[in-house]
Amino acid sequence: MLLVRVVRRTLAVFLALAGIATAQTSANLPPRRRAPLLAWLGAGRYAVDYTPEPDVHPSAGPHGGNVRIWYSPVLVEDLRAGRTAFRKGAAMVKELYRGGRNEVVGFAVMRKVRPRSGPAGRGWLFYETLDASGTIAIFGRGHPTCTGCHRQGVDYLQSSFRP
Ligand code: HEC
């Protein structure tokens, strides 16, 4: 009996470690469904390995008030390599602060879901909310509310921040 228990416990520890290893090797990307995406943002998961702008600053766009943008590791690599079309896994999280500088009150997110952006930007998933429950949100691939401005950027990237 004891042996069975020890084996079971060892197995449990092994599985837990294997889980951690998989979590570390699989990409930390904004989830593609709304509820998990909001949870991922709320938990600040992007802060684990995304590269932030040096500081909170006023938005140059319509995003309203102060913002701070974080780039995914794939996007950072692409920019450093001088790529102007980003790979799948490129992602940006923009923290929205409105008039303040300390409290994040909303998020705008983009994630490249396929290698080609396409004429309507359907290679990008767009999301924006200022609603803590996420009920009022803009969400979708190639969302027309977002693509008008963003298609003028470098493969839909508008910010001039280069890590
Ligand atoms: C009127 C133009 C405009 C519209 C519409 C717009 N954006 Fe932006 N967006 C910008 C500008 C300009 C920036 C550069 C950073 C800044 O100054 O805020 C930006 C930055 C971003 C960023 C950071 C990455 C980047 O490209 O720089 C995200 C994420 C983002 N916007 C998401 C969205 C989403 C989601 C929508 C649609 C709901 C949207 N934007 C609509 C102008 C726009």
Cα of 158 to ligand 1 centre, how many Å?
6
Output the pLDDT for position 25: 55
Ligand 1 proximity of 68 Cβ (cutoff 6 Å)? no
Instruction: State the closest ligand 1 atom to the C-alpha of 159, by its place in the atom list counted from 1.
Output: 27
CA atoms of 2 and 5, how far apart (whole Å)? 5
Look at residue 158 and tell me if it is in a domain: no
**Would you say the C-alpha torsion 48, 51, 53, 55 has a positive or negative sign?**
positive
**Would you say the C-alpha torsion 101, 103, 109, 111 has a positive or negative sign?**
positive
- Tell me the CA distances in angstroms from 162 to 19, 69, 71, 102, 158, one per residue in order: 33, 11, 9, 23, 11
Q: How confident is the model at residue 63 (pLDDT cuts 50, 70, 90)?
A: confident
Cα of 61 to ligand 1 centre, how many Å?
6
Mean pLDDT of 12-33: 64
Ligand 1 proximity of 110 Cβ (cutoff 6 Å)? yes
Is 90 in contact with 74 (CB distance < 8 Å)?
Answer: yes
Look at residue 99 and tell me if it is in a domain: yes
Cα of 77 to ligand 1 centre, how many Å?
21
Look at residue 116 and tell me if it is in a domain: yes
pTM score: 0.87
Look at residue 19 and tell me if it is in a domain: no
Instruction: State the closest ligand 1 atom to the C-alpha of 69, by its place in the atom list counted from 1.
Output: 23
Read off the pLDDT of residues 107-144 as tens digits, 9 standing for 90 and up.
999 999 999 999 999 999 999 999 888 889 999 999 99
Look at residue 155 and tell me if it is in a domain: no
Mean pLDDT of 1-6: 48
Q: What's the angle, vertex CA 150, arms to CA 146 and CA 52, rounded to 5? A: 100
Instruction: State the closest ligand 1 atom to the C-alpha of 109, by its place in the atom list counted from 1.
Output: 29
Q: How many structural domains compose the chain?
A: 1
Is 68 in contact with 53 (CB distance < 8 Å)?
Answer: yes
Look at residue 48 and tell me if it is in a domain: yes
Output the pLDDT for position 134: 85
Instruction: State the closest ligand 1 atom to the C-alpha of 153, by its place in the atom list counted from 1.
Output: 26
Q: Give the domain extent around 121.
A: 29-150
